[in-house]
Every structure is written in structure tokens, then in C-alpha cells.
Structure 1
Amino acid sequence: MSFPWAAHYAPKHPLMRWLDERLPMPRLVYNAIGAGYPVPRNLNYFWNFGVLAGLALVIQIVTGVVLGMHYAANGGVAFDSVEKIMRDVNQGWFIRYAHANGASFFLAVVYIHIFRGLYYGSYKAPREMVWLIGVVIFLLMMATAFMGYVLPWGQMSFWGAQVITGFFSAIPVVGEPIRIWLLGGYAPDNDALNRFFSLHYLLPFVIAGCIILHIWALHIPGSNNPTGVDVKGPQDTVPFHPYYTAKDGFGVGVALLVFSLFLFFMPNALGHPDNYIPANPLSTPAHIVPEWYFLPFYAILKAFTGDFLWIPAKLWGVLAMFGSILLLFFLPWIDRSPVRSSNYRPLYKKFFWVLVVDVILLGYLGQAEPNWKTVLASQICAGYYFAHFLIILPIVSMIERPLPLPRSISESVLHGEDEESAPYGVADASHAGHGPAPQPAA
């Protein structure tokens, strides 16, 4: 989308004019994050999490490069090299803890970013490509995080690699060759460490490239907003700088305070104590669990305990685990409601919060001791997760009566309209911002 009312870059200093004529980087930055990029004027603090994700990636790349200078990807010395980083490298403890907790920070920010997109309908037209690239970034992040968790070569690292890669063998025909290729053999060893270290080092730069595409795709239609109403004119927007650079700066300050709380006062709170025991292929931990950000998907995996239709339970679990993520690719076409924001979708909003609770419960069940109660609860929660996207969402899209939308973003801001004050009405295509909103019911 072009914004004819946006300010255009006109360098005044001779050096900047010379640079802009030969390499228009100043113009690119100005149009991407400066006054040349108009942004809806009603964005709330949930829109800070995109910038926070970028900050987390920078932290991970910088600390990861430094750690890579001292780490040895060899089964015999990998654990000792991590201990050396912690004890002998200058400020090594800080770099290692920043990297380990930075992974949790990154995933936590992205989870909030995803749920914000689900709540405000940021996956709907014309932003489908923004959403699809975002899901690709999420998959790359999960692969990178898993490989990074293996590198310390503690007990949970080794057995996590053994268990997770073992699920590939459930895939008929190609599964076992894929597992052997990933590990470089039949069990995690030196070859697996070398492969995982190489990919773990490479993938963050691939993620950075995808983020550039993500931002590029976002700048074509422009940012979504809490009302879901399209931008109508300059009265609906403000320049990204200084308004949202200041707002993002405040969000970054708060986020870094929370991050520092974990980094300096409880750096091991999100880790597993067994990972401070050197990997031992002859001693299986009593209870193998992944990092917290994998737990909801791990619970879905464990929910399948019986064979069905001649397909083994292990394969069903693997298909469900991957399917729970791949399902997000189809969300723009599953949800057919023309209204984007849940603020104007009272029925969908209720089911959205049920989904949030469901995912939190799956996270708890993913680390719980397996027994008939936790397995049954996992099956119920996993069933609801898929039912939400495949059954509930399409039905709600057809039967829901959304609230009338404001005529414009500026009207919503100036009049303070929200879902509490707006009466019920009938939704039509104009709710997507393609025409005038209906008048509120008397």
C-alpha cells in the first residue's frame, strides 16, 4: 500500500545527498522506520513485541558468535568446554546465561506476538504473506532452539536428542534414513554434535533474512491495528518516528528489566538441573522433558497412546505434533469472518481465551509425570486445540454477529469506542475496512 501523505526523504547534508544518490540506504531506513512510514495511530503495547523479537535475535546472534569461539563440538569435551566458558572465559558466565535465557526470552516474545496476531486478526487479507512468513520464522526458531539445547551435552541434552530424533523413525520408509542423516549415525554422538552446532550457528542468520522478508511484506499493506479497520487517510496515521520509536523504546526498557531479572538473579530457573550432569548414554533420566517452549507440542505428542487405523500411536503423535504447527499456515483461509479484531467479535473472543487456557494447560501437561489422569487431560486439550481451528473457528465465522466497526481509526480514537460501548449489529464485507461501517443500532 502506498501512502501519498507520507513524508519523503530529502537529505540536506551534502554527504547524505551523495550517499543517497549512490547507495540509498538512508532513504531505505527513513521509509522503513522513520517519518516516511505512517503507522495507525491507535497501536497498543502488544505491537511492541515485533521489535522485542528483533532485539532478542540480536542478543542471540551476538552472544552465540562469542560462545562459538570457545565451544568444542566433540562428545568427549563439549560438556567441559561449556564449563570452561562458565568458569575461565572472561565474562563467559554472563555470555552463556544471556544466550540460554535469551532463547526463552525470544520464544516468549514470539508466542505473545503470535497470540496478538490471532486476537486482532493480523493473519487476514491483505496480510496473509506476513503471517505465512511469520510461521516459517517460528518453525526455524524451534529447530534452532532444539539444536542449541543439545550442544551443552548434559543428560537432558543427550536424551532429548535421542527421544526427539527417534520420533522421525516413526515415519514410514523415509523416517529412519532422515534420523540417521540428522545424527550422522544410529545414536547421538560426535557427528550429531557437529551437525547440530553447524546448523545452530547458521539458522539464526537464515531467520534474520526471513525477518527482513517479514518486514518487507508488512510494509506493503501496512500494519494492522486494534480495530482492524483499514487506514482511510492521514488523519488515521502518525509517523513511525518519533511516536512509535519512543513507545518501542519504553517497551524495550521494560523487557530488558525483566530479562535482567532472570539473567542476574535466577539464570537457571528455566533450565533443567539434569543438564548439569555430563551426558551418559547408559543412564536414562527418570523423566525426560524438553525446554518449556516445546511443552505444549510435547503434550500433544504424548496424548496418542494407542494404535488407530493400522497406524501406530507413535506416528499419530508425530503427525499431530507437526500438524499443530502446520495448521497455522492455513489459518487465513480457515477463518472466513470479514471482521479482523476480536474486540468486535464477542463470540470468537470467548473461544480465543479458551484456546489460550488450553495451550497453557498443554504446557503444564507436557512436563507432568505420565499417568492416566495427565494422559487423559492431554488428549482432551489436544482434541480441543485441533477442534478450535478445524471446527469451532469455521462455524463461528458463519454464525457470529459482530459488533459494528467504527468508520475510521481516528473516529475510534477520538470517540473512545470499544466493544463494551458498541451495540450489536450485523457484519458484512464493509467490516474488513472496504466500505462505510453500518450505523450503530438504536
Structure 2
Amino acid sequence: MSFPWAEHYAPKHPFMRWMDEKLPLPRLVYNAVGAGYPVPRNLNYFWNFGVLAGAALGIQILTGIILAMHYAANAGVAFDSVEHIMRDVNSGWLLRYAHANGASFFFIVVYLHIFRGLFYGSYKAPREMVWLLGVVIFLLMMATAFMGYVLPWGQMSFWGAQVITGFFSAIPVVGEPIRVWLLGGFAPDNAALNRFFSLHYLLPFVIAAVIVLHIWALHIPGSNNPTGVEVKGPQDTVPFHPYYTAKDGFGLGVFLLCFSLLLFFAPNALGHPDNYIPANPLSTPAHIVPEWYFWPFYAILRAFTVNFLWVPAKLWGVVAMFAAIALLFFLPWIDRSPVRSANYRPMYKWFFWVLVADVILLGFIGKSPAEEPYVRIGQFAAAYYFAHFLIILPIISRIERPLALPNSITESVLHGEAEEAAPLGQQA
């Protein structure tokens, strides 16, 4: 979207004018994150998580590049090379723990970013492409994280690779050849480790490129806001800098504080102790689990225990696991309500929080043993997950009576200020 009231870049220094003429990079930055980019004036702290995700990616790329200088992608020495980094490389323990916990924090802020989008309807027109690119980023993150989890070559790394790649063997006819092609053999070994290391190193740069497209797509319609009402004029916006750079800076400080607390005081809290045992193909761990950010999808995978319509339960589980993510691609067309924000959709808001509870429950089931009552609870939770998107959302879109929307962003802001000021006036 073009904002005619936006402040235009006009360099005063002769060098900056020459630079703007030859390579207008300062103009690009100014229009993207400076005073040249007007933003709705009512954004809350839930709009910080996009910047925090970018900061987490920066941490991952920086630490990953340095770690790659010391890591050996060979099944015989991979585990020892990680221990070498931890014990012998200057600040190697810090780099390794920052990289491992940085992945968890990356997923934390992205999950919060996704749920914010669900609550405020950021997937609706005209921002469908922003949402679709965001889901692509999420898929690339999952692939990168899985391959990174294999690299330490501990017990959970090896058996996680064995189980996850084994999903492809459930596909009729072509499944097993695909699995062998992915691994470069019949079981995880040197070939698989080399491939995973190469892709794990490459994909973060692909993610960075898609993030550029994500931000580019966002700047065309402009940012959504808590009311879901589109910008009507300059009175509804403020420049991104200095207002939201300051707000994002505060959020980044809180993020780094929490990250530092985990990094220095509980660096192994989100890991698995079995991964400090060298990979042993002859000894299967008692309970194989992926990293915590995969637990909800792992629970959906395990929810299918009975063959149905001559299709094996394992294949149903694999299809359901991928379908759980694929549903997000179709969300802009599944939810047909003209109102974006859940603040004005009472029925949708209630079911949104039920969905949040359901995903948390799926995460708990994903980390639990594959036994009763966890399997049965996981089946009900997985069924509700799909029912929410395929049944509940379309019905709500038709029968819900939204609350009255404000005429503009400014009206909603001033109305909120008036409500806050009223009690003070009564007390006076």
C-alpha cells in the first residue's frame, strides 16, 4: 500500500545524495523500517515477535557459522567433535548452548507470532501472501531444526533420524526408495550425516531470503492491527521509527534477558539427556521423542493406531501430521468472516482459546509414552485440531454475530483512553 502522507527520504549530506543516486540502500532501509514506513498507532507488544524471530535467526546463523568451523560431519567422530567444541574451543560451550537454545527460542517466538496472527486475523485479505510465506518459513524451520538435531550424533539424534525418515517408508511403492535416497543408504550413517549437515547449513540462508519476501509482502498492504480495521489516514499511523523501534528494542531486551537466563543457568533444560550418549545402532532408547517444538505434530502422528480403508495406520498418521500444517495454507479461505480481530468475534475468541489449550495438550501427549491413557487422549485432541479448522471455523463464519467495529483506528484508541480516564474523573 502506498502511504501518500509518509515522510519521504531526502538526504542532505552530499555523500548520502550521491549514495542514494548510485545505490539507494539507505532509502530502502528508511522506507522499510524508518520514518518512511507508517504503522498503525495501536499495535501492542504481540507485534514484537516478528522482530524477535529475526533476532533469533541472526543468533542461529552467527553461532552456526562458527560452530561449522569446528564440527566434523562424520559418523565416527561427529559426537567427539561436539565434545571438542564444548571442552576445548574457546567459548565453545557458549556457542553450542546458544545455538541449541536459540533454536528453542526461535520456535517460541514463531509459535507466539502464529497464534497472534490467528487471534487478530492477520491471515485474511489483503495479507494472504504474508501468511502463506510465513507458513513456508515455518516449514523450512522445522526441516532445519530436524537436521540440526541429528548432527550431535547422540542416541536421540540417531534414533530420531531413524524414526522420522522411516515415515516415508509408509508411502506405498515409492516410500522406501525415497527413504533410501534421503539417507544415502538403508540406515543413518555418514552419507545421511553429510547431507543433513549441508542442508542444515544452507537452509537458514533460504529462510532469511523468504523472510525478505515476507517483509516485502507485508509492506504492500501494511501491518494489521488489534482492531482489524484498515488505516484510513495519517491520523491512524505513526512512523515506525522512533516509536516502534523503541518498542521493539524493549521487547528485544526482555527476549535477550530470558535467553541469557536459560543459557547460563539451565542450558540443558530443553534438551534430552540421552543425546549425551554416543549413537548406538544396537541399543534403542526406551522412549524416543523429538525436540519439544515437534511434540504436537508427533502426537497427531501417533494418534492413528488402527488400519482404516485398507490403508495402514502408519500412513494415516504421516498424512495427518503433514495435513496439520497444510491446513494453515488454506486458512485465509477456510475462515470467511469479514471481521479480522477476535476482539470483535466473541464465538471465535472462545474457540481460539480452546485451540490453544488443545495444542498444548497435544504437546504434552507428544512427550508422553505411547501408552494408555495418553494414546486415547491424543486421539481426541488430534480430532479436535482438525475439527477446529474444517468444521468449527466455517460454521462460526456463517452464524457468528460480530460486535460493532470502530470507524477507525484513531476512534478505538481515543475510546480506550476515554475509558481509562473516566474512573480518574469519578474519583476527582
Alignment TM-score, normalising by the size of structure 1: 0.94
How many Å apart are 1:372 and its aligned residue? 2.3
Task: Show the counterpart of 1:196.
Answer: 196
Residue 96 of structure 1 corresponds to which residue in structure 2?
96
Q: 1:370 Cα shift? A: 1.7
Partner of residue 21, structure 1: 21
> Are 1:39 and 2:34 matched, yes or no?
no
Q: 1:235-290, CA deviations, whole angstroms, 9 ceiling, x for partnerless residues?
A: 00000000000000000000000000110000000000000000000000000000
Describe the SS at the equivalent of 1:12: coil
Runs of 4+ in 1 over 2 A off after TM superposition: none
Determine the C-alpha separation between the residues in 2 that align with 1:177 and 1:329. 28
Look up the match of 2:55. Answer: 55
**Aligned 8 A contact 1:168 1:175 in 2:** yes
Equivalent-residue separation in structure 2 for 1:355 and 1:282 (angstroms): 40
Equivalent residues of 1:339, 1:402 under 8 A apart: yes
- For residue 372 of structure 2, what is the amino acid of its counterpart? W
Contact 1:124-1:340 at 8 Å conserved across structures: yes
Match runs of 1:200-215 below 5 Å: 200-215=200-215
Structure 1 match to 2:423: none
Partners of 1:59 and 1:387 lie apart in 2 by: 37
**CA distance in 2 between partners of 1:143 and 1:182 (Å):** 13
Question: 1:406·1:417 contact (CA, 8 Å) conserved in 2?
Answer: no
2:278 partner letter: P
> Retained in 2: the 8 A contact 1:147–1:199?
yes
Asked if structure 2 preserves the Cα contact closer than 8 Å seen for 1:137 and 1:207, the reply is yes
Report the 3-state secondary structure (helix = DSSP H, G, I; strand = E; otherwise coil) of the residue aligned with 2:39: strand
Specify the alignment match of 2:366 in structure 1. Answer: 366
Q: Distance in 2 between matches of 1:418 and 1:376?
A: 50
Match of 2:124 in 1: 124
Question: Sequence identity, in percent?
Answer: 84
Residue 438 of structure 1 corresponds to which residue in structure 2?
A: none
Deviations 1:366-414 (A, max 9, x none): 0111212111000000000000000000000000000000000000001
In structure 2, C-alpha distance between the alignment counterparts of 1:178 and 1:210, rounded to whole Å: 26
| Counterpart for residue 299 of structure 1 | 299
Is residue 369 of structure 2 the alignment partner of residue 355 of structure 1? no
**In structure 2, distance between residues paired with 1:245 and 1:230:** 22
The equivalences for 1:321-332 within 5 A come to: 321-332=321-332
Structure 2 residue matching 1:124: 3-state secondary structure: coil
| TM-score computed with the length of structure 2 as normaliser | 0.97
Provide the secondary structure at the position in 2 that maps to 1:372: coil
For 1:135, what is the secondary structure of its paired residue?
helix
Q: Which SS does the other structure have where 1:169 is aligned?
A: helix
- Give the Cα–Cα distance (whole angstroms) in 1 for the partners of residues 64 and 226 of structure 2: 36
Once the two structures are TM-superposed, the CA of residue 216 in structure 1 deviates from its matched residue by 0.1
1:334 maps to 334
Distance, in Å, in 1 between the alignment partners of 2:308 and 2:372 is 19
Structure 1 match to 2:86: 86
Other-structure match for 2:265: 265
Partner of 1:317: 317
Q: In structure 1, the residue corresponding to 2:359 is in which secondary structure?
A: helix
Following the alignment from structure 2 to structure 1, what is the Cα–Cα distance between the partners of residues 286 and 372? 18
Which residue identity lines up with residue 307 of structure 1 in the other structure?
A: N
After superposition, residues 135-154 of structure 1 pair within 5 angstroms as: 135-154=135-154
Structure 1 stretch displaced more, 31-40 or 178-187:
178-187
Let me know the Cα RMSD of the aligned residues: 1.0
Provide the residue aligned with 1:379 in structure 2. Answer: 379
Q: CA deviation at 1:417?
A: 8.2
Letter aligned with residue 410 of structure 1: T
Cα displacement (A) at 1:159: 0.1
Supply the AA of the counterpart residue of 2:342: S
Structure 1 position 300, deviation (Å): 0.3
The CA deviation at 1:173 is: 2.1
Task: Tell me if the contact between 1:343 and 1:418 (Cα under 8 Å) persists in the aligned partners.
Answer: no
Is the Cα–Cα contact under 8 Å of residues 125 and 332 in structure 1 kept in the other structure?
yes
Q: Deviations over 1:52-99 (max 9, x none)?
A: 000000000000000000000000000000000000000000000000
| Partner SS for 1:105 | helix
Tell me how far apart the structure 2 counterparts of residues 412 and 55 of structure 1 sit (CA, whole Å).
31
1:179 is aligned to: 179
CA-to-aligned-CA distance 1:159-178 (integer Å, 9 cap, x gap)? 00000000100011221121
